Structure 1
């Protein structure tokens, strides 16, 4: 252990032993800093070796960060360029910036400090994490998502994963600038949202599904009643009439759980115009399809899948989880009539996010769903090592297009055709 870390561990133990938790809860950060400065000053003056002023200031900041923030992780939380923070034990802290993972020079004093900070995070959101309940998934006050896993489940030490909440709203225009999609694709997605197509956004972890869902929601009319359902609230609707629902984990006694499925069922009784499900991952898929098929056009959701075809298969599997004993043909017929558009997003090897496909579900042929790809990303044959390059290509609208019928109904047909003509290469 380095000298500075050893001094911090010593000061931390002594100060924490005499701290009054109730008194701290009533202080703001400035008052707490003053108290800690005084305690550090007393200890430093009586320490066997000199403690320089710079080190004293660092000790005060680290102690305050640990008491009211996330300890060693606080500098990473305050860095707006960082999107994800991953702790794999005392000395292994990683973060994502610009789509790439980096190893941090920060570390925890010892495993005890790491466990205490993990438990403090959980307690702030009314949850408990210990040996009897070693896993917790929660949302921080700022909207960030956090997942904690303790030993013995995490073999190499306590694991903390934080997906930081971005206050800044990113629109489709911003995504065009970032190269996530082309301008014609953005215009088609805007029209799809405005003319109430049911949209499923498919992709892997960290591919930008929720970001895209937030961007699409900006084109929902302000006179619509929107219900959002999430495990951890991340969606930020800009419309005036929004009802936000969030699931609840079971208590220590394993009671009181509120699932996404029960929230979707309840949402249908709340007269919604649209239901937006943050992420579909289980039996709630059946109720979501029923909503899409019964007058709640324009509903949206995300799910984990590697391609549009895989997304349909995943929905089938999730409907089967509802134990309804429906024949596969009936399930596929329900999916095809409910889902209009599947947008596939991918995180590329250079860290960038791209919409690699926009596909329309047009019907059934036999027992198989038929999809038509409206746009796709074609990567260049000769790629640079550190940069993905390519172009977004449109295949044009099909004769059976639901998108065209809806656009005509809403008076957006010319705008839609213009978007497609500008997206087809000459």
Structure 2
């Protein structure tokens, strides 16, 4: 991974292939040396090369990618200078490319934080009172607010307030370097602030150009479909799903498993989003949700309905739905008193698959893509509009899902989520351009075209 990050594009493939050569040489050395020494000596010999490699790495700078992810731009420049054996001026263009490449990883971190929060509630919630859970939930925000007291204000805010010296000190603290090393970056920030103030956005600017209009409907569409595919309703009813699946697993433990799966899946996204691209992950996510909702969740809907409708109504709907999806047979058999222990895993597996594919794509990437589509002068306003619409749909889904389930049957309610997942797949396939590795100007040109 390190070699892949530090190598130039033209030699990355050759450098990666050297790994296979070294593995072959290692195996050959074991064959040549092995017959003449004891196993103890052979083990010690096998450890020499890794040890020498580790010592050598002490004198090699950290990957520029890691420095950029940590916000240490000056250290990234110095690492690139050392690795390329040239001047800082000569590697500034490459640094800009690196910054474009890690946008997706940074933008996808939001879903990881959300997953951590959900998992903490699943772990603590079932075993304490609501009062204790509320106090527990307040601890992290309280600690976060306390920690922010020791962090300097944003250089952008300080420049806007005409506190240039404080902005220099803030940037120096954030980059962990000397003031001389950040003066050039400070000059860039000052220029960006001047441009932002000179081109201060109004609501009219959101529809002023074709590129902005396109960016707006793409962003609103992505965050709306994020909610319309039913994540909040599914999470709200996941305990009921586990209880009625006949799996024998305690529902509280099951939700902890769901939270853990969501966290692990979300953690994968930053590592693949800048190599696979946004479109691939979003298409994979939408397609996976459509399959799990239309198949597995079509049957899973009935347990929720069982708590909302009479058993007679439940049985009628189950029989009707069996004609539409074979997996609905599970709960049909269960209602008729048949032994379903051999397929009790079906709704649980569907739930886990849904959580995985949602977390990898639509859980985090709509927010990452949103940050890439807009120019700086309208980004704040456009993000506020998109986020407001997103959480408005979240409110509607959570509020009216149970009512919709009672009126139509929860099988049909969740089937609707599956239809929206299909809409998400089609929309991403035909409308969303790939933004991986592209500059803001390139993205704006595509959107305006």
TM-score (norm 2): 0.22
**Higher helix fraction (1 or 2):** 2
For the pair shown, which has the larger CA radius of gyration, 1 or 2? Answer: 2
TM-score (norm 1): 0.23
